[in-house]
Structure formats: C-alpha cells, structure tokens
Amino acid sequence: MALWDNLTGWLSEDQHERVHVPIDPGRVDVSFTATPVAADQHYFRISVAQMFLQKKSTAFQEFYPAVHSLVRCTFAGQAIELPNVADPTKLLQQDGKGDWVARNFTLLPLMPFKGGEVRVVAGLYAVKGENRLKDFIGVLGGFASLLAVPQLSAVLAVAQPLAAGIQALFGGGGGMHLGYQNTFVGKGSSTGNVLQEGYIALIRLQSDSSLAKRLFVINGELHEGTSKEALVPFERADFMLLRIEVRTERDDWNELTSIASPRQAALSALAEGQTAKATALHKQALVAALQAPELTGADRRRVIDLLNGEYAEAKSLLRARSRPEVKETDFDNQMRSKAISIEKARELGEPTYDEVFATV
C-alpha cells in the first residue's frame, strides 16, 4: 500500500478523538491578511508553530513518536509528493511542569503555487517498538532535511526513497496520535478549500463546536479564553499548531545557489578584469533563473532584470576606472532594495530567451 493511502487510512481511525480548528485572523496577535494563493503569483510554506504534549501523553510511554507530513502538489511541471519526518525528542523541550513543547520547525519549504490541488497530511505518529527505532527515525530525518531547502529541484530524487523509508517505519504498528488531512485549491476555484495564510490547531479532543470561539494565537503559541485580555496557554490536551504562510516574494535568495553562486562569481571575475569568464558566468546565472521552477513568473522577471542591470552597472564602473573596484553585494539585499516591484514585473510579463540575451 502506498504511503499516502496508509497515512490517510490511519487518520480515519478514531477521528472523533481529534479535531482541527482554523484560527480566525482576528484572534492572532500579529495582524495579517488571510491571502488566498493564486497560481504563479504566490509562494506557500507549511510549518509547525508549536507542538504541546502533556507529561502523561501516551506518545512517550509504550510508543516512540515521529512527526510526519506528506504534501501532494505541482512542481517543476509535474505532480510530486514531498514527505517529511522528524524525531520530536530532538525538538521537544520540557517546561517547568514536565510537559513537552516544540516550536517553529518546517514541514514544507517555501514553494511556488502552480495551480491545481495541494493535498496535505500531517501529524504525530506513535511507533510501537524499542528505542532503537530512534536511530532509524534519525536517518530518515537526515534525508528529510535534504528536501527542506530552497533549491528543491536539485534534491527531488531524495523524495521517493524517503517515502519508502517512512512506509517501512510506520508499517510496524502504532497509531496516529495527532493528525490532519485536507485538500486545498487556489484563488478563483469554484470548489474546495482555498489555500491561504493562517493557523490551524490540531487537538486531541472530541469535537467541540464552541472551541473555535475560545482559541487565540499569541506570540506564535496557542491560547484559550473569552477575549485577548483573559487568556491562558492551551494545555488541557495534546496539540500541534500548524502555520500556513503565503507570500508574494521569496525571503531566501542567497539559498537559490544555482542563481546566486554564478551571479557572485561573475561579479568577482569582472572585478578581477576577467571579462570573458565573467560574461560566461553571468549567462549561467541568467539561464538558471529562466529555468528555475522555484520562481513565480513575476520573480523570474525581477531576477533577470536585476542580474542584467547590476552586471551592466558593474561593467560601466570598470570602464570608468583604471583599477576594478566592483563590490560583491548580497543577493537578498539586492532583491529587497533594487529589484523591480511585483506589480511592474507582472505588467512586463515573463522574459524570453531572446529578450534576456539580446544585450549580453
């Protein structure tokens, strides 16, 4: 049986003991707009903002816990499944009461939304067995960390063997302690849940229709009360607080090494007077930007325009001086301060090969 079928099958068992509650944006202390994703215009990322397990939790008794997720979506022109698994004992810390808390770990790295469906399964799974399983979980977690990178296209080959390893791990018995499953669509779809910015609480409780009116997120942590002025940390049941982030721009440009590395090398070569080498490296960065599936159409335009603009400026500076003084600049900083706006990029449209290389 495929990993997806296993995970969703386990979620259907004892579902009455688990609820998931979307947190209203007005009940979050940091103001944000619940932006719905639009195809090739937004990026999305999924993380666990907080996980809380009571000291008496069964997940730490006869079973060994493992946090997992599996996301189905479109990337690089194909439907893919991105698995993840983590050892909570390396993430969790005990508070003063002996309960266990973990915060801010990524399940899915920042990805462009390319349309279609995004299907998500996530949760805490209790694996029955001896502590030697932690070594296996640790190995799988090491593979999973390879997928939690901005340059996702370079490591997709890891996804299939990781899924096979998770399948072998979870096939040994145990059960879903906390779990979540949902299918999302993009802005403008006539059916389905729209993927948008926000928090979702997964709680090991029986269904309670009034719960959504009592939950708040303060400093990225789940609280309960009748108002923001009368809140206490939510601690009466095990839970995971998922965060779905939606944004129009990336925040990790330096980590897109297929673009960032030849860009910086081109500027360095130009500063050393190696014009032919610099031009070849600059072209390499341009090709990488044109082909990078990690970018939306607007960001592809913004990156191309920035690369060509700063390279032309660097050449102009060199011609004006007897000694080269081109400075290497941080890619993140350049994209934030000098790249054209998202609106302008959408107006110009995606660049073509002929347009990009016409002036190089």
Q: Which residues contact 230 (CB under 8 A, 6 or more apart)?
A: none
Q: Flag whether pLDDT at 352 surpasses 90.
A: no
Residue 254 CA to residue 74 CA, distance in Å, equals 24
Helix (H) or strand (E) holding 53: strand 43-53
**What mean pLDDT is reported for the chain?**
84
Q: Which residue has the higher pLDDT, 272 or 189?
A: 272
Residue 15 pLDDT: 52
Cα-trace Rg, the chain: 23
Q: Flag whether pLDDT at 12 surpasses 70.
A: no
Mean pLDDT in residue range 262-280 = 91
Q: Flag whether pLDDT at 322 surpasses 60.
A: no
Buried b (16+ CB within 10 A) or exposed e, 215-249: bbbeebbbbbbeeeeebebbbebbbbbbbbbbeeb
Q: Flag whether pLDDT at 262 surpasses 60.
A: yes
Mean pLDDT in residue range 28-44 = 91
Look at the block and give the residue holding tokens 């599996």: 70
End-to-end, the C-alpha distance of the chain in Å comes to: 53
DSSP 126-192: EEES-TTHHHHHHHHHHHHHHHSSS-GGGSGGGHHHHHHHHHHHHTTSEEEEEEEEEEEE-TT-SSS
Task: Give the range with max mean pLDDT: 14-18, 60-64, 265-269.
Answer: 265-269
Q: Which residues contact 237 (CB under 8 A, 6 or more apart)?
A: 54, 203, 204, 205
By percentage, how much of the chain surpasses pLDDT 90? Answer: 43
Q: Which residues contact 30 (CB under 8 A, 6 or more apart)?
A: none
Q: Flag the least confident range among 32-36, 60-64, 159-163, 246-250.
A: 60-64
Mean pLDDT in residue range 40-46 = 94
Residue 124 pLDDT: 83
Contact (CB, 8 A) for 109 and 73? no
Residue 16 pLDDT: 47
Mean pLDDT in residue range 46-69 = 80
* Angle (CA) 180 185 190, round 5°: 125
Residue 189 pLDDT: 77
What is each CA distance from 321 to 124, 275, 326, in whole angstroms? 61, 15, 10
Mean pLDDT in residue range 249-259 = 93
Residue 22 pLDDT: 92
Residue 131 pLDDT: 57
Q: Which residue has the higher pLDDT, 105 or 217?
A: 217
Q: How confident is the model at residue 325 (pLDDT cuts 50, 70, 90)?
A: low
Q: Which residue has the higher pLDDT, 91 or 174?
A: 91
Residue 57 pLDDT: 76
Residue 13 pLDDT: 52
- Reported as a single tens digit per residue, the pLDDT across 119-175 is 998 888 777 665 556 667 777 777 788 778 888 888 888 888 888 877 777 665 556
DSSP classification of residue 196: B
Residue 1 pLDDT: 45
- pTM, two decimals, is 0.87
- Reported as a single tens digit per residue, the pLDDT across 96-122 is 787 888 899 888 999 999 999 999 988
Residue 134 pLDDT: 66
